[in-house]
A and B are shown apart, each in its own frame.
Chain A
Amino acid sequence: MIHDDVVGNAPALRTAGLGRRYGHVWGLRDCTLTVPAGAVVGLVGPNGAGKTTLLQMIIGLLQPTEGQLEVFGETTRANSAKALARVGYVAQDHPLYRDFTVADMFHLGRAMNPSWDQGVATARMDALGIPLKRKIKGLSGGQQAQVSLAMALAKRAPLLALDEPVSSLDPIARLDFMRELMAAAADTGVTVIVASHVVSELERLCDWLIVLTGGRMQLAGPVDDLLAAHRLLTVPRATRDAELPGLAIHRADSDRHSTVLVRIDPARLAAQERREWGVEPVGFEQLVLAYLQRPSGASTDNPAQAAARPGPATKEVTR
């Protein structure tokens, strides 16, 4: 319903070789991906993996150092009103002006966003029982997060980017926030990107997944495809990685057996599968953890080394 301004079938987000350097350190490098409109994307990675860097470039708060970035088919220029209008943003720790009332915050949203929908914002506060006259500093962390979410939604941008929206909240507030977010995504069809290091929060929410470690993209794709492309194999311990029908992502050895999470090559799986192997599907959390534990093929603080080995992680993942 809010996508009238989106041109054709352009993907919500498309990047090619996107990178951002802070001084000598690359915050993110070689990021190439295409996210379709309407996806709900989980952006997973440990702290410092480059999640915030990627989000801030998408929003237009940060200028990429290299590579291309398109949001709904249009190249994003940092700090242009057009780029800013396309993305609703809930920053980490949901910053708000503490001495403003909720109504003041919404007044600010209306003053600073041409497509602002005051009804969306106030209806959410009514539903959640948050009084508009209350000062921000008088609200709980969960309520502040809800105000931030309401502001991002009332901006009516076709893309919603959230940076660790629940990491500072208690478990109940986390559930409430995620429920509200899921409902909003379902109602409006808005494309959502949620950065988090809390994997369990994302499982029910996301239909798309991006895993970042050390400034490199490890994995990106629709969750169903990714799950279908991986298997958990139980093999004799002596089995070498090269004998496996695909790429070993994570291997845990016990006395006699090894449990290996493998990105399978379908042709080889059929040909190579041995009767004594146990083959099981993988779960969302298992898959994410396997990639998070994987040694990040390139170190981000050594650009020379990274340049000598062009785009290792990215290429194999997006193939």
Chain B
Amino acid sequence: MIWVSWRQSRSQAIACLGVLAALAVYAILVGSSMRTAFSHDGLAACLARSQGTSCPAAVSAFMNKFGSAVNIAFWSVLLIAPGLLGVLVGAPLIARELEFGTWRLAWSQTVPRTRWLAVKLALVTGGLVLLGAAITAVITWYRAPMDRLTGHLINNVYDFEGLVLTAYILCAFGFALLAGLLLRRSIPAMIAAFIPWLAIRLAVEYLLRPNFQAPLTFRQNCASGCSVGAGIGSVPPVTGHIGDWVLGQPAGQSGNQLVSYLYQPADRFWHFQFIEAGLFVALTAAALGAAIWLLHRRPA
């Protein structure tokens, strides 16, 4: 069965390795020049000395040069990339057999169909975990200089580092596998799985994640004059500590001299990663469990 699974998935595996290689090449090209600039500008020493407050010109030059390539380009591609990867691998796994009638071949050998699926799931999810970990490693290495300025708790960074990227891939895979079993067609299954995946992904990012733990409040004394709202996305953020994720100002602030900000401190990164990855892995497990149960029960 292991050989069978490998033989049926190997072209996908090779394609995934190709994507990973392309990403690595891009990361090495841009990442190297970013590293050169980072050390050339003496940013490391400045950050160690003052959290970046003593060298605003160097910080802003670096951010201007690399901020759009690293943050905006990555955000737009990597928002949907894990979902695409997951559904492209997940949807055909069962749907292809149903679409081409080969289920009658696959499930009439001396391997019950639930075991057939279990072996495939073990191997393919294992492969996806390795792939997710590899992509995460490449991005984390690539972003390292940038992360020293921004930390990795803020939205466009948090999503590609740690555990969540892998969990996003698995979730899309699980949804697509289940959709493939229900719809019996690969392409509709991909679409039917991708849309709820994206909805959940964005809902978690914008609605749940800021509240995984109660945010802390930072009060800024504006007696000597400071513009309200400034410093949310700056380096360092308004809290003065690199890596803190400033969520914004609570509603209903009167115009007094103390301005308060809600924020999540930088050291909650792993805690949040575990919560969010756990959520997506639980969704994956539910989808895969439903697929196994349905496959066991379905007439044919």
By a beta-carbon cutoff of 8 Å, the part of chain A in contact with chain B is 22, 56, 59-63, 79-81, 84-85, 87, 89, 91-93, 95-100, 104, 107-109, 111-115, 148, 151, 155
A81 partner, pick from B4, B7, B104, B110, beta carbons under 8 A: B110
Q: Which one, B111-119, B172-180, B248-256, is touching chain A?
A: B111-119
B100 to chain A: closest residue by CB: A95
B299 partner, pick from A62, A85, A98, A114, beta carbons under 8 A: A62
List A contacts of B230 (CB < 8 A): none
B12 on interface, CB distance cutoff 8 Å: no
Question: A104 touching B7 by the CB < 8 A rule?
Answer: yes
A274 to B19, CA, bound (A): 86
Question: B4 touching A111 by the CB < 8 A rule?
Answer: yes
List A contacts of B7 (CB < 8 A): 100, 104, 107-108
Given pairs A79-B112, A108-B7, A113-B110, 18 additional interface contacts (CB within 8 A)? A60-B108, A62-B299, A62-B300, A63-B299, A79-B113, A79-B114, A81-B111, A81-B112, A84-B111, A89-B108, A91-B105, A92-B104, A95-B102, A97-B105, A99-B11, A100-B7, A107-B3, A109-B109
Question: A84 touching B108 by the CB < 8 A rule?
Answer: yes
By a beta-carbon cutoff of 8 Å, the part of chain B in contact with chain A is 1-4, 7-8, 11, 100-102, 104-105, 107-115, 296, 299-300
Q: Could you say which of A92, A95, A98, A112 has the most chain B C-beta atoms within 10 Å of its C-beta?
A: A112
Q: List 29 A-B contacts (CB under 8 A).
A: A22-B299, A79-B114, A81-B111, A81-B115, A84-B108, A84-B111, A89-B104, A91-B105, A91-B108, A92-B101, A92-B104, A95-B101, A96-B105, A97-B8, A99-B11, A100-B7, A104-B7, A108-B4, A108-B7, A108-B109, A109-B109, A111-B2, A111-B4, A112-B1, A112-B110, A113-B110, A114-B110, A148-B105, A155-B109
List A contacts of B11 (CB < 8 A): 99
A104 to chain B: closest residue by CB: B7
B4 partner, pick from A61, A85, A112, beta carbons under 8 A: A112
A111 to B6, CA, bound (A): 12
Question: B8 touching A112 by the CB < 8 A rule?
Answer: no
Overall SS of chain A's interface: loop
A95 partner, pick from B1, B105, B111, beta carbons under 8 A: B105
A13 to B119, CA, bound (A): 32
How far is the CB of B299 from the nearest CB of chain A, in Å?
Answer: 6
List B contacts of A63 (CB < 8 A): 299
List B contacts of A99 (CB < 8 A): 11
Question: A84 touching B299 by the CB < 8 A rule?
Answer: no
Question: B108 touching A87 by the CB < 8 A rule?
Answer: yes
Question: B8 touching A61 by the CB < 8 A rule?
Answer: no
A92 to B11, CA, bound (A): 28
A23 to chain B: closest residue by CB: B299
A69 to B112, CA, bound (A): 18
How far is the CB of B5 from the nearest CB of chain A, in Å?
Answer: 10
How far is the CB of A62 from the nearest CB of chain B, in Å?
Answer: 5
B8 to chain A: closest residue by CB: A97
List B contacts of A91 (CB < 8 A): 101, 104-105, 108
A80 to B113, CA, bound (A): 9
How far is the CB of B279 from the nearest CB of chain A, in Å?
Answer: 33
Question: A84 touching B112 by the CB < 8 A rule?
Answer: yes
